[in-house]
Structure 1
Amino acid sequence: MLLPRPTTATYGHGTFLLDESTRIHASGATAETAHWLQSVLRPATGLPLPLTGQAGTGLTLALDPELPAEGYRLHCGPDGVTITGADSAGVFYGCQTLRQLLPAETYRAAPVPGVAWKIRYGTVQDAPRFRWRGTMLDVARHFMPKPQLLRFIDLLALHRINTLHLHLTDDQGWRVQIMRHPRLTEAGAWRRESQRGAAPDAPGDQRPHGGYYTQDDLREIVAYAAQRHITVVPEIDVPGHSQAAIAAYPELGVSGEQLETGTRWGINSNILNAEESTLTFFYEVLDEVMDLFPAPFVGIGGDECPTEQWDADPRTQELIRQRGLADSAELRSWFLGRLGRHLAQRGRRVFAWDEILEGEAPRDTLVASWRGMTGARTAARRGYDVIACPDDLVYLDYRQSELESEPIPFGVPLTLADAYDFDPVPDGLTETQQARIVGGQANIWTEHMDSPRTVDYYAFPRLCAIAEALWSNADRDFEDFQERLRTHLRRLDALGVEYRRVDGPMPWQTRPGVPGKTSSRVAWAEFIDTLVAPIKT
């Protein structure tokens, strides 16, 4: 009952029992994973599981570079369990499978008496389908404190997710400490209230909200994730979705007026100006971000940037003429291109939403296709690498059913079955173009998720389905997935994950009286089609 589904799994008769005599045999590149394995098995089992570099009966971790990247082979027999990985990541994923082969009580954080810690004889051979298996977490709309973020990283690792895309800035909050520009967090990290619900006329909740990660916090988060073979990709969203930055430094805005950190959801007309001084400001921001995050990609947003302020501003129009640009649309591409060149000087690549395809994108941009799969097809045909994250299949803030009890129902219904049908590779591409699809990710926007337990409800078990779509081969068997999920939910129960039950939300997971904003799939598809018209090829 493994999840994600492995490539092959065969089982025999007999079991191996973990007991007081069991040792973990590991050395060199596998030692770090062995220490992690000790840390997750000891609490519930109460077993010492000492680490030794000598071969013997017990749990053995080894490397075999002939295996596929991130792949592993787990064999259990009378002499114990041997996990052989192509690399350290493969060994780690093999250890995650070992945990799933043990009783679900293994996931508890204190000794569980009366449990036989048995592993069935057999062999599991496995490797991932995609290199990028991601989840985007929006910590700008609602801040997730560090301990809960570390817990979330553990949940991603459990599901073989290897990329955490952190949406660190937006109109409603700035969450990364920047030493050269301290007011970004002093002023931009909090707002006086939040919109309560999704309706345009929804009231404010009259409750201040805020928080940010210090640079020491972020170094810790990045290192913690790396130990679990997760790369943390930061995103600084510009030139739209930038009101928190403008609230901290009004000179970054078009008008120069003092604004407050945003309190309303949706697309905001307050955007950055296009002065050289603003670019210099964000070069300095990105320099500190790159010092904190060693990921090869840095997100710069580029999405949902209305240009009305630029269109009406004489100074911006003068800059457009001076730079030989045609209009505000070309100015946006120019702005993002300048940031892209700055990143390239530090050996990093741009990661941006598919709106970047509406102009000339930096040549090595990694495009996140969110408005359906049009961006994925267009980018792949133009020779860009692609992360598929179509909103109607992987936006986990969307409502999970048509039930009236769904909390703050938003968007189209995105069921567990819908999430399981996600395939990052769109149709209509040649084999060469298909190779440009490097993976996919789920996106968790948190306008309506004001606590980690609410994130649990929206994310799980749909994230389990998406994780399998990204790890396992393209074959789909939803009935088989559901059967394995029933076992897997016992593991999530042991971890205290407050996932959505199959029959709907529990009473405390509802939000009666808080308005939503829903759409039918037909109407939503028509709306998305109008948005992507400028990039269709």
Structure 2
Amino acid sequence: MTTSELIPGPLTTSTWGDGVFPLDEETTLTAGPETDGTARWLRAVLVAATGLPLREGEPGPPGSAAENSVELRLDPQLPPEGYRITVRDRRALVTGGGPAGVFWGAQTLRQLLGPDAFRRAPLRRTGWQLPETEIQDAPRFAWRGLMLDVSRHFMPKDGVLRYLDLMAAHKLNVFHFHLTDDQGWRIEIKRYPKLTETGSWRARTKFGHRASPLWEDKPHGGFYTQDDIREIVAYATERHIAVVPEIDIPGHSQAAIAAYPELGNTDVIDTTSLSVWDTWGVSKNVLAPTDNVLRFYEGVFEEVLDLFPADAVGFSEFVHIGGDECAKDQWEASPTAKARIVDLGLTDVDELQSWFIRHFDNWLAARGRRLIGWDEILEGGLAPGAAVSSWRGYRGGITAARAGHDVVMCPEQQVYLDHRQHGGPDEPVPIGFVRTLEDVYRFEPVPPELTSDQARHVLGTQANLWTEVMEDRTRVDYQAFPRLAAFAEVAWSALPDPAERDFAGFERRMTAHYGRLDALGVSYRPPTGPLPWQQRPGVLGRPIEGAPPNV
């Protein structure tokens, strides 16, 4: 394996001819101060893949590893997530500006060993070796995220842990965990047990787009216990990934209302007749703007904050409250909502939603946390201190950044990976825009309309996986990969000008990367198109190029 096959591509590399460092039974792996976690991870994956013992060794001299050793160290001269790898004279030194930088350097070192280093047991092969090289690298963006929707289709805990490993392999560091929606509530809240007893299961599921006549006529659901959540957060933290939970309010809440009907607009509809939603789109059943609802969700968030500690790693202080696609029909018809607007001195239901969001912004801020929401939280006035996930194109992010608010760029037109990858008829359940591997590779998170000062509010970028038409892990894999590899490079090291990016070179590097994905068991979309078992003939999608997301 050579440095020209790395993904994401590093900032700089240099080599010394064709020299290599061969690893053998005597090669050691040495952890310097504050690198023990990375050493444990690296030893575990490499011992499993290579069969080499990689025993603990003695530190080498300053600036170098000991002979026949891989050594991990900190170097405060480097950026916190930056790293340097030096392989020469039968030794390898991985230094990072902080523990995260060491970990990202170890990820690159694993790639240098070739695709078989990503397997869980050794093949019958010998000759593990590292090319003699020096790599200097650091990320462009601090927030390099992936959102996974486990509400529409539940992903069991082992699948979530697997996706954290896949994120780490691509140097992504924020896991946006979409835990609640109309179609299912996925997190145990002990003081409100019906949220999972009732809200985590639906009787059946629409198969395909909501216009499809097909149904999966069996119950679907599941949830994570609080210990499951603690395990997921700990597993992510070991991989320097922050987990940002999303509890969606005040819309996308039918599952919660089905569990506790008093949360809904009871003066407008009979909420006791509601069940967890079994189809897709935007439900009209939203939370009532009452004090009782506020107190209920404060109780939810109290348990959420305990499960997702602010000091875990990176952006762990953030809590996502959704705020998107809140249908206001029931509020328009509700005497309770109308009275609330008058009592609060508001002008309309948009300002009522802003009041709802501001309440939780203040509540979270008082507990040392930061609120982030989809760009609809701009409607009726942006909550002070809130950050924005800009999904409806760039406009929300531009507006927020100009107002001095932090932004994560995730426009659906570019980085919604549930959207189809090709316009051909064989794409499984074709949804939304055609966004090819090259389209994702040429996505630029920072809008040119922003000044340099405004652009500093762009924390980074995020790819989103909404799972309405992803019924299992293999479907999630197909939609995510290989495009998530292109996105990872955008977030880590791609040039700011998309026209200057070398997509042909990226495709050449992907040739090696497909081998890594194969070793990891990823059911990616092949460059030649879907394999027969990846197709879904006869299942209606939404193949309308350029259509709004809910058409």
Q: TM-score range by the shorter chain?
A: over 0.9
3-state DSSP of counterpart to 2:461 = strand
* C-alpha separation in 2, matches of 1:201 and 1:316: 35
3-state DSSP of counterpart to 2:71 = strand
Q: 2:280 aligns with which of 253, 257, 265?
A: 265
The residue type equivalent to 1:304 in the other structure is E
Q: 2:426 is matched with which residue?
A: 405
* C-alpha separation in 1, matches of 2:451 and 2:337: 42
Q: 1:534 is matched with which residue?
A: none
Q: 1:280 is matched with which residue?
A: 295
Could you tell me whether the CA contact under 8 Å between 1:34 and 1:51 is conserved in 2?
A: no
Q: 1:61 aligns with which of 51, 72, 75?
A: 72
Could you tell me whether the CA contact under 8 Å between 2:210 and 2:281 is conserved in 1?
A: no
* C-alpha separation in 1, matches of 2:289 and 2:371: 19
Q: 1:29 is matched with which residue?
A: 34
The residue type equivalent to 1:195 in the other structure is K
**Does residue 457 of structure 2 align to residue 416 of structure 1?**
no
Q: 2:371 aligns with which of 334, 347, 350?
A: 350
- Please show how residues 490-505 of structure 1 align to structure 2 within 5 Å: 490-505=515-530
**Does residue 110 of structure 2 align to residue 99 of structure 1?**
yes
* C-alpha separation in 2, matches of 1:306 and 1:210: 25
Could you tell me whether the CA contact under 8 Å between 2:32 and 2:74 is conserved in 1?
A: no
* C-alpha separation in 1, matches of 2:518 and 2:501: 25
* C-alpha separation in 2, matches of 1:145 and 1:257: 30
Instruction: Tell me the CA shift for residue 251 of structure 1.
Output: 0.3
3-state DSSP of counterpart to 2:304 = helix
Q: 1:74 is matched with which residue?
A: 85
**Does residue 165 of structure 2 align to residue 160 of structure 1?**
no
In the TM superposition, what whole-angstrom CA distance separates every residue of 1:73-128 from its partner, at most 9, and x where no partner exists? 00001131000100000100111110111121111111112231011101010000
Could you tell me whether the CA contact under 8 Å between 1:27 and 1:53 is conserved in 2?
A: no
Q: 1:477 aligns with which of 502, 506, 509?
A: 502
Q: 1:365 is matched with which residue?
A: 386
Q: 1:434 is matched with which residue?
A: 455
* C-alpha separation in 2, matches of 1:431 and 1:134: 22
Structure 1 residues 232, 53: closer, same or farther in 2, change over 3 A? Answer: farther
In the TM superposition, what whole-angstrom CA distance separates every residue of 1:185-221 from its partner, at most 9, and x where no partner exists? 0000010011111142533221210000000000000
Instruction: Tell me the CA shift for residue 519 of structure 1.
Output: 1.6
In the TM superposition, what whole-angstrom CA distance separates every residue of 1:324-369 from its partner, at most 9, and x where no partner exists? 1111111111011111111111111111000111122222111000
Q: 1:488 is matched with which residue?
A: 513
Could you tell me whether the CA contact under 8 Å between 2:206 and 2:216 is conserved in 1?
A: yes
In the TM superposition, what whole-angstrom CA distance separates every residue of 1:255-305 from its partner, at most 9, and x where no partner exists? 252210010100110000011000000001011001101221000011000
3-state DSSP of counterpart to 1:280 = helix
Structure 1 residues 201, 123: closer, same or farther in 2, change over 3 A? Answer: closer
**Does residue 332 of structure 2 align to residue 311 of structure 1?**
yes
**Does residue 15 of structure 2 align to residue 8 of structure 1?**
no
In the TM superposition, what whole-angstrom CA distance separates every residue of 1:456-504 from its partner, at most 9, and x where no partner exists? 1000000000000000042511001000011011011011111000111
3-state DSSP of counterpart to 1:3 = coil
* C-alpha separation in 2, matches of 1:492 and 1:486: 10
Q: 1:463 aligns with which of 473, 484, 498?
A: 484
Could you tell me whether the CA contact under 8 Å between 1:388 and 1:441 is conserved in 2?
A: yes
Report the identity percentage.
51
* C-alpha separation in 1, matches of 2:58 and 2:292: 57
List, as ranges, runs of 4+ consecutive aligned residues in structure 1 with deviation greater than 3 Å.
none
3-state DSSP of counterpart to 2:438 = helix
Could you tell me whether the CA contact under 8 Å between 2:211 and 2:540 is conserved in 1?
A: no
User: For structure 1, which runs of at least 5 residues remain unmatched after alignment?
Assistant: 532-537
Q: Is 309-318 or 123-132 further displaced after alignment? A: 309-318
Could you tell me whether the CA contact under 8 Å between 1:104 and 1:491 is conserved in 2?
A: yes
Q: 1:204 aligns with which of 211, 215, 232?
A: 215
* C-alpha separation in 1, matches of 2:480 and 2:387: 24
* C-alpha separation in 2, matches of 1:356 and 1:320: 17
* C-alpha separation in 2, matches of 1:344 and 1:203: 45
Q: 1:150 aligns with which of 121, 140, 161?
A: 161
3-state DSSP of counterpart to 2:289 = coil
3-state DSSP of counterpart to 1:299 = strand
Instruction: Tell me the CA shift for residue 69 of structure 1.
Output: 2.4
* C-alpha separation in 2, matches of 1:286 and 1:347: 13
Could you tell me whether the CA contact under 8 Å between 1:15 and 1:119 is conserved in 2?
A: yes
**Does residue 143 of structure 2 align to residue 118 of structure 1?**
no
The residue type equivalent to 2:102 in the other structure is V
3-state DSSP of counterpart to 1:289 = helix
The residue type equivalent to 1:110 in the other structure is A
The residue type equivalent to 1:28 in the other structure is P
Instruction: Tell me the CA shift for residue 28 of structure 1.
Output: 2.4
In the TM superposition, what whole-angstrom CA distance separates every residue of 1:396-455 from its partner, at most 9, and x where no partner exists? 000110110101101010110111011110111111001111100000000000111111
Q: 1:535 is matched with which residue?
A: none
Structure 1 residues 412, 21: closer, same or farther in 2, change over 3 A? Answer: same
Instruction: Tell me the CA shift for residue 53 of structure 1.
Output: 4.9
* C-alpha separation in 1, matches of 2:78 and 2:249: 41
Q: 2:203 is matched with which residue?
A: 192
The residue type equivalent to 1:10 in the other structure is S
Could you tell me whether the CA contact under 8 Å between 2:8 and 2:488 is conserved in 1?
A: yes
Instruction: Tell me the CA shift for residue 27 of structure 1.
Output: 3.1
**Does residue 413 of structure 2 align to residue 392 of structure 1?**
yes
Q: 2:313 is matched with which residue?
A: none
The residue type equivalent to 1:448 in the other structure is V
Length-normalised TM-score, structure 1: 0.96
* C-alpha separation in 2, matches of 1:220 and 1:183: 23
Could you tell me whether the CA contact under 8 Å between 1:271 and 1:305 is conserved in 2?
A: yes
3-state DSSP of counterpart to 1:315 = helix
The residue type equivalent to 2:485 in the other structure is C
